[in-house]
Chain A
Amino acid sequence: MLLLIKRIIKWGVKGFIRNGWLSVATISVMTFTLIVIATLLMLNIVASAVLKNIQEKIDISVYFKQEAKEEDILIVKSQLEKLTEVKEVEYVSQEEALRRFKEKHKDNPYLIEGLQELEENPLEASLNIKAQQPSQYETISKFLEGIYYQNIIDKIDYRQNKEIIDKLSSIITNIKLVGLILTGVLILIVVLVTFNAIRIAIYSSREEIKIMKLVGASDWFIRSQFIVEGVIYGFISSLSTLAILYPVFWFFSPKLSRFLPIEDFFSYFHSNIWAFLIILLAISIGLGIGSSLLAIRKYLKT
């Protein structure tokens, strides 16, 4: 058995090497398709990260009247935190609000001067509420309208942003859906292209396969040699894909971070590089073996 495997590998490797340019062409096609899949994967990740980032920026702000007591506000806070729809609630006291305002507008001397003219802190305390999903703000808002502490609430900032939040919600859902469909279609195309490339390679060996059968080789003996070639194709194209994508991602990462609200994209790629390699290897070797098996059936049937 071991001898058989040794022989199959021997002929598979020799066949691969002696095919020369055909092997190069097949690997190029497979590498290209893998790059497409890998890029799609990364784009999906980036899109999710961008969407998540945008979602984080959506929130409801509840502003409390000047005379509201802090302990009451904190009771409201704890009530909100009990809701399953609420992800987190941040309490911004009046002092904190003033500090943030000054920080935000520190380059605007007129505003700062104007503020100093006032005796009291004009800013209100607030609770910033973040929901688990954008679609849940409606529920949270309704909750707020019905609580006991209605009287201390001055303004709920959700109303003004409702339209934007709803629009963003549906855009996000649509993007995710379109993204999924697009990825599915492209992966299908990519699989077909790879299968075709391997089919061509095996087609060019059809005479050899016939002769092997005539000489008395069993179907599996013949098949396995081409499977070995398929594995080699997959392995080499995975490595080439990574070799190409690594510098490309490294180069484009800072540019991406500049106009998309995400963190360092390359470092995410780099830290997960082993996972990437394994996924790539699994896909490409799987494609290589599957395509070889399928493509050779025609020539083994006699």
Chain B
Amino acid sequence: MIQFKKVTKVYPLNSDYTIALENITFNIKKGEFVSIVGQSGAGKTTLLRLILKEEEPTDGLIIVDGQNLKEIKFKELPYYRRKIGVVFQDYKLLPDKTAYENIVFAMEAAGKTDEEIKRDVPEILDLIGLTHRAHHFPSQLSGGEKQRVAIGRALANCPNVLIADEPTGNLDPLHTWDIVRLLHKINEMGTTVILATHDREIINTIGKRVITLDKGRLIRDEERGKYVV
């Protein structure tokens, strides 16, 4: 599903440079639930940005769903991004649109018909448990609710892979578990889930595959991993 082959990302900074990722290789299969862990600055976000093609690797190969990312042209980027659902730590919801409209917008951007939208959005709202808050604006929703809308939006176009970058970073413990449970549910429905986090509790409780990054290097890749500092 997602393959990284000897991927390196270097950021030039004046006459110096920062190595964000060094020689990363891994293979994530369809339907897996993978957590990417590491301290802040370990390279988790960079890795996710590379998958989204917000950045390009300095070296190495990235293949997503059979497609070599290097071959995707700038014009084709929107089409590629629609196949990946992303959830961010800061939600990144459209502030001037209601929860319902945020999900609708993502579907319209992908060119779905009105019938598909009318059919799917209520289901998504039900899945994320926000049917009764659908017509509120993000400013009227709690952090947990906002994140659920973000997840709903990420799912709108039935992506093969859902990426969550520190989705619980801004949430209290109760809401954190809500989100993790939701992600789990989504994974059980068949979607590959990649969760980037530095929350030890979550990792150790989920008990699924863990890829550990440290200072840009992949130091551990375990099937039933634990977050060991």
Contacts and interface: CB of A to CB of B under 8 A. Distances in A.
Contact of A11 (B81, B105, B114): B105
Interface string A195-222: 0000000000001100111111111010
B78 A18 contact: no
Contacts of A18: 96
B94 A212 contact: yes
A19 B94 CA distance: 13
A215 B96 contact: no
Contacts of B97: 14
Interface string A260-293: 0000000000000000000000000000000000
B178 interface: no
Interface in B132-160: 153, 157
A3 interface: yes
B51 to A, nearest CB: 13
B109 interface: yes
B32 interface: no
Interface string A1-39: 001000100010011001100000000000000000000
Chain B interface extent, by class? 20 to 34
A86 B78 CA distance: 71
A215 B150 CA distance: 10
Interface string B49-63: 000100000000000
A208 B94 contact: yes
B105 A216 contact: no
B93 interface: yes
B93 A15 contact: no
A213 B78 contact: yes
A208 B81 contact: no
Contacts of B157: 216
A213 B108 CA distance: 13
B92 interface: yes
Given A15-B96, A18-B96, A215 B105 contact: yes
B99 interface: no
Contact of B153 (A208, A215, A218, A219): A215
Most B-side CB within 10 Å, residue of A14, A19, A213, A214: A214
| A-side interface mostly | helix
A217 B86 CA distance: 14
B18 interface: no
B109 A3 contact: no
B124 to A, nearest CB: 14
Given A215-B105, A215-B106, A3 B113 contact: yes
B113 A215 contact: no
Given A216-B78, A218-B78, A7 B108 contact: yes
A216 B94 contact: no
Contacts of A19: 96
A221 B78 CA distance: 11
B94 A211 contact: yes
A19 B96 CA distance: 8
A121 B105 CA distance: 93
B133 to A, nearest CB: 18
A213 B109 CA distance: 9
B96 A214 contact: no
B86 A214 contact: yes
B110 interface: yes
A14 B110 CA distance: 20
B95 interface: yes
B5 interface: no
Contact of A211 (B92, B110, B113): B92
Contacts of B92: 211, 214
Contact of A216 (B82, B96, B101, B114): B82
Contacts of A208: 94-96
7 contacts: A208-B94, A208-B95, A214-B81, A214-B92, A215-B105, A215-B106, A221-B108
Given A15-B96, A207-B95, A211-B94, 4 more contacts: A214-B86, A217-B78, A217-B109, A221-B108
Interface of A: 3, 7, 11, 14-15, 18-19, 207-208, 211-219, 221
Considering the complex of A and B, which 5 residue pairs feature the smallest CB-CB distances, nearest first? A217-B109, A216-B82, A216-B81, A18-B96, A216-B78
